[in-house]
Chain A
Amino acid sequence: MELLKTENLCKTYGKGENEVKALDNVSFTVPKGQMTAVIGPSGSGKSTLLHVLGGVDRPTSGKVFLDGQDVYAQNDHNLAIFRRRQVGLIYQFYNLIPVLNAEENITLPMIMDGRKPDPKQLDELLTILDLKERRHHLPSQLSGGQQQRVSIGRALFTSPGIILADEPTGNLDSRNSMEIMELMRRTNRELNRTMIIITHDENIALQCDRIITLSDGKIVSDKLTGR
Chain B
Amino acid sequence: MNFSGFLAKRYVFTRKRHSILTICSIATALTLMTMFFNMFSTYTTCLRAYTYDKTPYHCLVYSVTEEQCRLMAESEGIASCTLVKDTENRRYQAQIMLEEDVYKDKDILENAFKNAGLNISYYDAGIFFEFNQTLMDLDMVGVTAHANMAKTFAVFYIFLLFIIMMLRLVIDTAFEISSAERERWFGVLRSIGATTSQISAVIAKEGLMLSAVGIPAGILIGTAVSYGAYRMIMNSGLTDIFISPEKAEQLFSFDADPLFLLISAVTGLVWVLLSAYGTGMRIIKTDPVSAITRRKKTVKKVRRHTLLGFIFGWKGKLASRNTNREPMRFIITTLSLTLSIVLFSSFSYIAEKLQDTVDTILHDVGARYEFMLNNSTFYSTPKFAECVEILESSGYFKDIATSTTNMGSYYTEGKELYSEYVDIEYHNEESYNNLFNGAPPISYEELSASGKYLLIHNADQYDTHKYAQEIVKLNDIPLHIYQPEFLSENQYKALSPEEQEKCYEFPEEIHGKRYRRMCKKLYSYPVYTTVSTENTYLEVLYNYEDSSPLIFLIAPISQYNVNNNYGPYDNNYSIMFNLTEPHKYHEALEFLQNNETISEYTELTDLFIFITKIDSVVSLIKIISGFIIAIVSLVATVNMINIISTGILNRQGELAAMQCTGMTDRQLYAMTAVECAQYALTSGIDSMILCIMIVFGTKQILNIFELQGDYGDLISYTQPLISVLIASAVTFIIAFVTAYISLSGMKKQSLTDRIRSVE
Residues of A whose CB lies within 8 Å of any CB of B are 47-48, 51, 54, 56-57, 76-77, 80-85, 89, 91-93, 95-101, 108-109, 111-113, 136, 138, 140-141, 154
Contacts and interface: CB of A to CB of B under 8 A. Distances in A.
B235 interface: no
A84 B657 CA distance: 11
Nearest to B295: A140
A193 B565 CA distance: 100
A77 B666 CA distance: 8
B302 A80 contact: no
A140 B300 contact: yes
B551 to A, nearest CB: 70
Interface residues of B, number: 35
B750 A141 contact: no
B662 interface: yes
A83 B101 CA distance: 79
Contact of B654 (A80, A98, A113): A98
Interface in B266-325: 294-296, 299-300, 302, 304, 313-314, 318, 321-322, 324-325
Contacts of B758: 91, 93, 95
B309 to A, nearest CB: 11
B433 interface: no
Interface in B461-478: none
B300 A81 contact: no
A97 B657 contact: yes
Contacts of B659: 80
Most A C-beta atoms less than 10 A away, residue of B294, B654, B759: B759
Given A95-B654, A101-B302, A111 B751 contact: no
B664 interface: yes
Contact of B752 (A56, A83, A98): A56
B300 A83 contact: no
A92 B296 contact: no
A190 to B, nearest CB: 23
Nearest to B668: A80
Given A84-B661, A85-B662, A95-B755, 15 more contacts: A48-B752, A51-B752, A56-B660, A57-B750, A57-B752, A80-B664, A83-B660, A89-B660, A93-B759, A95-B656, A99-B318, A100-B318, A101-B302, A109-B661, A112-B663
B658 interface: yes
B195 interface: no
A97 B318 contact: yes
Nearest to A99: B321
A111 B667 CA distance: 12
A141 B299 contact: yes
18 contacts: A48-B752, A56-B660, A57-B750, A76-B664, A77-B664, A85-B662, A89-B660, A91-B758, A95-B657, A95-B660, A97-B658, A99-B318, A100-B321, A109-B661, A111-B314, A112-B661, A136-B304, A138-B302
B222 interface: no
Contacts of B750: 57
B665 A84 contact: no
B318 to A, nearest CB: 7
A108 B666 contact: no
A84 B318 contact: no
A138 B658 CA distance: 16
A81 B662 contact: yes
Contacts of A111: 313-314
A77 B658 CA distance: 14
Contacts of B556: none
A56 B299 CA distance: 34
A112 B666 CA distance: 11
Most A C-beta atoms less than 10 A away, residue of B653, B656, B660, B750: B660
B663 A80 contact: yes
Contacts of B295: 140-141
B651 to A, nearest CB: 9
B640 to A, nearest CB: 20
B664 A81 contact: yes
Contacts of B318: 97, 99-100
A56 B751 contact: yes
A9 to B, nearest CB: 14
B662 A54 contact: no
A17 to B, nearest CB: 20
